[in-house]
Amino acid sequence: MPKKPSEEKLNTQIIVRVDDQTKKDFMNRVQTEGKSASEVIKAFIHSYLAQESRETPDLLRMQSELENLKHEFSQFQNEVMGKLIA
């Protein structure tokens, strides 16, 4: 049976560099909330991983669709102008 994440040994680190004031403010806030820095950071990581992946927009497809819309609009505009002139 696989171990639950909470049962696994935590032996990997992620090092993040921040300025002194940011660290001080962060540590003060987690302490005020009765939490540890690790607890807050791990909660953020789990929340981030739970979010659905954001796809990179397909710019070529979007450009093609825009060109089609321009063409359709131009045809519509020509029809309207033809009816106004008639």
Mean confidence (pLDDT) of the chain: 89
Do residues 66 and 56 make contact, with C-beta atoms less than 8 angstroms apart?
A: no
Mean predicted confidence (pLDDT) in 13-33: 96
- Residue 4: predicted pLDDT: 62
Could you tell me which residue, 52 or 4, shows the higher pLDDT?
A: 52
pLDDT above 60 (res 86): yes
* pTM recorded for the entire structure: 0.52
Mean predicted confidence (pLDDT) in 17-29: 97
pLDDT above 90 (res 1): no
